[in-house]
Amino acid sequence: MPWSGSFARCGLLMTSWTVVLLLSTEMKFQRQSATEPNLEDVESTYTTSTIVNTSNTILPPAFTKAPRGVAVCIAGNLRTFTVPVVFSQIRPFHEQLWGWTVSFFLYGTLEGAGPKNQTHRNLAAIHETNQTALKMALTSLRPQAVELVANAEDVTEENLAQYVLHQECFRNIQFIESVDGVEAFFENRVRFLRGLNQLAHVISSLEMMMRFEQTRGRRFKVVILTRPDLRYDVNRNDHDWFRDVAWVPEWISNGSVALQMDHWVAMPRALAERFYLLGKVLSCSPSDKCCRKIDRSESLWEYLTGAVHGNFGQCSCSNITTPFRRAKVAQIQRTKSTK
Ligand SMILES: *[C@@H]1O[C@H](CO)[C@@H](O)[C@H](O)[C@H]1NC(C)=O
Ligand SMILES: *[C@@H]1O[C@H](CO)[C@@H](O)[C@H](O)[C@H]1NC(C)=O
Ligand SMILES: *[C@@H]1O[C@H](CO)[C@@H](O)[C@H](O)[C@H]1NC(C)=O
Ligand SMILES: *[C@@H]1O[C@H](CO)[C@@H](O)[C@H](O)[C@H]1NC(C)=O
Ligand SMILES: *[C@@H]1O[C@H](CO)[C@@H](O)[C@H](O)[C@H]1NC(C)=O
């Protein structure tokens, strides 16, 4: 496999190791269905932001070919990605669900962030250093592009102004549900920075997808944003698993969002454009309804997509409303052991 070499991204990341893997664009192992639902009408119904300085974004070239296929953008810490029940099911799950060409883009961090100190949800940091295991997992996933970076901290207290224009909108935050009963989750600076880093990684994976679209002169129809440590129990025999999610492709083709919190979010390509433009630099200002209302990651996602991602309550912080439906697609694999 043609993977090796290192390259520095934008000078923004202090990465000690970045690997880029580009596989050939039209791969033979992918199935293509003749009956893709038509997304053309859907794509024109979203307007993208005018506040964001678009010269800092990837400008869409004139795409001559009709949109096609599903892009799965996987971003986050590679904690349990290398466990076989995790990596081996990612491609089969998405291919079976859609029956379309599915392309994967992986932006993975190797060093786990510290504990979240969140009641019942504290995951110990797992560092992924085993290159043999990583190669095996990547060979199975066959992504179109992969970037692996050592450090998960793009956003720090020092460079925060590059990512958040109006910091006052992220202080004294109104909250829906508190983890520890006293304040909004994002009121804690460490958690806020962690949430911003999660977003920065998702944005990086979207940029990988957009570069690929430019290269092939064609946009995707559907974009899925997800994380690398989910276990898709495709082979579960206690239950007709596909029946539970069979509605998802048509639902997305109708312009809506299917989601499992902020773990797995499927959306039309045009909505991913909004996500990207609003998420690359948070421009939420005191005159916007989002100000002091983005209290945690699920609310940030709600702001960006207009769909409610949290299981308990909504922030009502987005200026669009997108129909959404919850999907039960996978579980977080928390340990390296598969028990
Ligand atoms: C929605 O909000 C975003 C950013 O907060 C802004 O760029 C956009 O113009 C707004 N759209 C409408 C229709 O108000
Ligand atoms: C947009 O960003 C570019 C490059 O960072 C900068 O040169 C330009 O002045 C910015 N424009 C506005 C309107 O802020
Ligand atoms: C969790 O607690 C440790 C030890 O007190 C601290 O260093 C770390 O910053 C905390 N993390 C968060 C996300 O609050
Ligand atoms: C690295 O991963 C491979 C494949 O999973 C495994 O066989 C090997 O024992 C691992 N090595 C270490 C040092 O953990
Ligand atoms: C998609 O839209 C069509 C036409 O409005 C409707 O008949 C169908 O039930 C919708 N599908 C889903 C999954 O909501």
Ligand with minimal distance to 124 CA: 3
Q: Is the domain covering 3-21+65-156+193-273+323-332 a CATH 3.90.1070 domain?
A: no
Question: How many whole angstroms from 36 Cα to the centroid of ligand 3?
Answer: 47
Q: Ligand 4 mean position to 137 CA, how many Å?
A: 12
| 195 within 8 A of 300, measured Cβ to Cβ | yes
Distance CA 82, CA 131 (A): 10
Residue 82 CA, ligand 4 centroid: distance in Å:
9
Distance in angstroms (rounded) separating the CA atoms of residues 192 and 307: 21
CA angle (11, 144, 113) in 5-degree steps: 50
From the centroid of its chain, how far is CA 95? 18
Protein residue closest via CA to atom 3 of ligand 2: 55
- Centre of ligand 1 to C-alpha 320, Å, is 8
- 242 CB less than 6 Å from ligand 5? no
- Token readout for 236 is 């579960």
Domain boundaries in the chain? 3-21+65-156+193-273+323-332
pLDDT at residue 208, as a whole number: 97
Highest mean pLDDT out of 8-22, 120-134, 227-241, 260-274: 260-274
CA distances to 97, 98, 234, 329 from 243, in Å: 10, 13, 11, 11
Among 331, 326, 333, which Cα is nearest to 244's?
Answer: 326
Distance separating alpha carbons of residues 208 and 147, to the nearest angstrom: 9
Nearest CA to ligand 5 atom 1: 254
Give the 3-state DSSP-derived string for 25-76, with helices as H, strands as E and coil as C: CCCCCCCCCCCCCCCHHHHCCCCCCCCCCHHHCCCCCCCCCCCCCEEEEEEE
Task: Give pTM, 2 decimals.
Answer: 0.78
Task: Give me the mean pLDDT over the 59-74 stretch.
Answer: 83
Longest dimension (CA), the chain: 54
For the CA of 129, the nearest ligand:
4
CB of 252 closer than 8 Å to CB of 222: yes
d(CA 106, CA 148): 8
Dist. CA 280 → ligand 2 center (Å): 14
Closest ligand 1 atom, residue 278 Cα: 4
Residues of the chain with pLDDT > 70: what percent?
Answer: 73
Contact present, 48 and 82 (Cβ < 8 Å): no
Q: Residue 304 contacts by C-beta under 8 Å, 6 or more apart in sequence?
A: 274, 275, 278, 279, 318
Ligand 4 nearest-atom number relative to CA 130: 1
Dump pLDDT digits (tens) for 80-139: 999 999 999 999 999 999 998 999 999 999 876 665 555 445 556 667 778 899 999 999
Least trusted range by pLDDT, from 35-39, 96-100, 189-193, 307-311: 35-39
* 56 CB near ligand 2 (under 6 Å): yes
Distance between CA atoms of 302 and 314, rounded to whole angstroms?
Answer: 8
| Alpha carbon nearest to ligand 3 atom 11, residue | 116
Query: Quick one: which of 47, 56, 55, 51 has its CA closest to 285?
Result: 51
In this structure, the residue with its CA closest to atom 12 of ligand 5 is: 251
pLDDT above 50 (res 18): no
